[in-house]
Amino acid sequence: MENYIVSARKYRPSTFESVVGQKALTTTLKNAIATQKLAHAYLFCGPRGVGKTTCARIFAKTINCMNLTPEGEACNACESCVAFNEQRSYNIHELDAASNNSVDDIRQLVEQVRIPPQIGKYKVYIIDEVHMLSASAFNAFLKTLEEPPRHAIFILATTEKHKILPTILSRCQIYDFNRISVDDTVNHLTYVAQKEGVTAEPEALNVIALKADGGMRDALSIFDQVVSFTGGNITYQSAIENLNVLDYEYYFRLTDYFLEGNVSGAMLLFNDVLNNGFEGSHFITGLSSHFRDLLVSKDAATLPLLEVGASIRQRYQEQAQKCPLPFLYKAMKLCNDCDLSYRTSKNKRLLVELTLIQVAQLTTEGDDVSHGRSPKQIIQPVFQAATAATASPQQQVQQVQPQSRPVAQPTAPTAQQQTNVSTTEATAPLRTEMPDIIQKLASQQEKKIPAGRPGLGISIKSLQRGETAQVSQSQAATVQSTTAAQPQIDCAFDESSLNFYWHEFAGLLSIDYNAMKVRMQNMRVKLIDATTFEVVVDNELAAKNFMALGPEIEAHLRKQIRNSQIKMSVRITEAAEIKRPITKSEKYLAMAEKNKALIELKETFGLEFN
């Protein structure tokens, strides 16, 4: 028990070749050592447990090795390598910036840099978690980092590169470490299991790799935990039980319920998941990943993106063939929206259940496909009754009613219609300057032509017999002759109706005339005589604006009131001169006008102004 070492330390790589998942970076470092092109500062950044500090130690040991192998690795036999392996080398210094982040710690490090190495060529300073240094410590470190002694090499390691000052980044060669893939993690765990004499199923190691999320150190720690739980025989069932991972079987069964539209089965399965101690957020994220895996399983080109075991891979391919692409797009979108809203929701279980109902009803929506852009989150009745036959006659009536319009009875042209014709002719030159909405009103007025007169002989039967063209021509000729024969009649109006249509015109103005619209709505116009009204404004600019809009206002009022003689007059008010009291006597007189007692007070006591 005393000699037990955890797998993360026991199987820590000691050579570049044994580093897992960082082939490009290790090759670059080996080539730099072989060609003697070493930088004075390096920055290793990336997620936790991917080999940053490990590569820094291997690099420090290799550049001081006296007998490099043909592959560019350290020999582990010379004095420098032996001292490093026994952790007594004075050429390699490690500083934990998380606990030594003050200016004094950096100054002490700078003083040590001046001392040359006793054995080997370089002194390597590894500063771990360098982003934890304070701003003053960074500033104290800048000059030494930029121009260190020839024998000094700095290797900075961090998981949060964005927190490091740009002045530090510009002085380093930056190496970004990637997350270790699931396949590489499984292969390394298989190697460790063979060394330790542990039997492990591939699916169980795959679950451990997925749980580690790209970190080898986490994977080895989880591996030790599962080994302790199972006693050296790791199975898939024991792994998911110990790691609190939802079984794939839940998601496969749930997807079958979705494809069948079985809402009750989906909700009962979710209840079973909750009873087993799993949280709703963990369940919904796993469901999103399951739909994603089904999507990549539908195409052979995207199949390498599926990070599961061989036996489960076959099940994914089989179920993917049953799932339509639109269903997968919408289901992923709904699950993702549920995941985003989960933290802020007060009734979290209801949120997940509503999502399950929506996903289960996706297959019954028909051909309305949104391809995952914006699925309609509409919950249909879970238990549908046969009401289509009863509702169809009503729907037919509703569809027919808008199309059926009453037939206009032929009537004689009235004075209003005659006035509309003449007003349209009078306002034709002004139509190009009118707002769009006023033009629409003018076009609607022009289209109001009387259907006919009594005695013209127009009937529906004649129209159906192909006499439409002849009737239209005779009708137009009759209306034209009638309009020319009868004189135009101007209707009388009062100030109330004038202000009503004045405000109506203001409401029709577009957003470009917003200032004029507000001004018109807040004023009332006055009649000067029977046909002329006056607009009173308080400044010259407003008067110019009303004069520019005058033709359109007059045209609208003439058309609505049916009087072609309406005219608008604009007048600017004269501001009343208000003289303010300045001298003492003027102030006294102003106060005395309001209070006569001041005059008696002045006369009684004989008061005078100084």
Domains and CATH numbers, the chain: 7-176 (3.40.50.300), 182-242 (1.10.8.60), 248-364 (1.20.272.10), 414-450+489-575 (no CATH), 579-610 (no CATH)
DSSP output for 500-524: HHHHHHHHH--GGGHHHHHHHHT--
562: confidence class by pLDDT, cuts 50, 70, 90: confident
Within 10 angstroms of residue 81's Cβ, the number of other Cβ atoms is: 21
d(CA 187, CA 202): 9
pLDDT at 337: 92
Predicted confidence (pLDDT) at residue 576 exceeds the cutoff of 90: no
How high is the pLDDT of residue 142?
87
SS3 527: strand
- State what percent of residues in the chain have pLDDT above 70: 77
- pLDDT per residue over 203-260, tens digit each? 888 889 888 888 888 899 999 989 988 888 888 888 888 887 888 888 999 999 999 8
Instruction: Select the more confidently predicted residue: 494 or 423.
Output: 494
332: confidence class by pLDDT, cuts 50, 70, 90: very high
Mean pLDDT for the stretch of residues 424-442: 44
Tell me, what's the pLDDT at 586? 76
Per-residue pLDDT band for 582 (boundaries 50, 70, 90) equals low
- The secondary structure element, H or E, covering residue 599 is helix 597-605
Predicted confidence (pLDDT) at residue 13 exceeds the cutoff of 60: yes
Rounded Cα distance between 549 and 528, Å, is: 20
Question: For position 401, what pLDDT does the model report?
Answer: 43
DSSP 355-386: HHHHHHTGGGSTT---TTSS----PPPSS--S
Mean local confidence (pLDDT), 521-548: 86
Specify the 3-state DSSP secondary structure of 437. helix
Phi/psi of residue 249, nearest 5 degrees = -60, -35
Secondary structure (DSSP) of 105-137: HHHHHHHHHTSPPSSSS-EEEEEETGGGS-HHH
Q: Find which of 169-183, 423-437, 583-597 is predicted with most confidence, using mean pLDDT.
A: 169-183
DSSP letter at 163 equals: G
pLDDT above 90 (res 587): no
pLDDT tens readout for residues 119-145 = 778 889 999 888 888 888 888 888 888
Contact 509, 517 (CB under 8 A): yes
User: Is residue 249 within 8 Å of 316, Cβ to Cβ?
Assistant: no
Instruction: Give the pLDDT score at 579.
Output: 58
Are the C-beta atoms of residues 533 and 526 closer than 8 Å to each other? Answer: yes
Residue 487 pLDDT: 54
pLDDT at 270 exceeding the cut of 60 = yes
pLDDT of 462 strictly over 80: no
Give the chain's radius of gyration (CA, Å). 45
pLDDT band of residue 55 (cuts 50, 70, 90) is: very high
- pLDDT grade for 425, boundaries at 50, 70 and 90: very low
Q: Which of 313, 11, 316 is nearest to 190 (CA)?
A: 11
Of residues 392 and 145, more confidently modeled: 145
Averaged pLDDT, 26-35: 89
- pLDDT exceeds cutoff 50 at 433: no
The more confidently predicted of residues 29 and 452 is: 29
Answer whether residue 312 shows pLDDT above 90. Answer: no
Inter-helix orientation angle 280-297/263-275, to 10°: 130
Provide mean pLDDT across the span 441-458. 42
Say which range, 63-77, 258-272, 412-426, 592-606, has the weakest mean pLDDT: 412-426
pLDDT at 292: 92
Q: 128 φ, ψ to 5°?
A: -90, 150
What local confidence, expressed as pLDDT, does residue 378 receive?
Answer: 55
Residue 577 clears pLDDT 50, i.e. is over it: no
Indicate if the pLDDT at residue 412 is higher than 60.
no
What is the pLDDT, as a whole number, of residue 599? 84
Tell me the mean pLDDT in the region 28-38. Answer: 89
3-state SS, one letter per residue, for 198-247: CEECHHHHHHHHHHHCCCHHHHHHHHHHHHHHHCCEECHHHHHHHCCCCC
Q: What is the pLDDT of residues 480-529, one digit of tens each?
A: 544 444 456 788 888 888 888 888 888 888 888 888 888 888 888 888 88
Query: pLDDT tier at 335 (50, 70, 90 boundaries)?
Result: very high
Q: Are 125 and 152 in contact (CB under 8 A)?
A: yes
- The per-residue pLDDT of the chain, averaged, comes to 78
Mean pLDDT score, 321-334: 91
Q: Which amino acid is residue 487, in one-letter code?
A: P
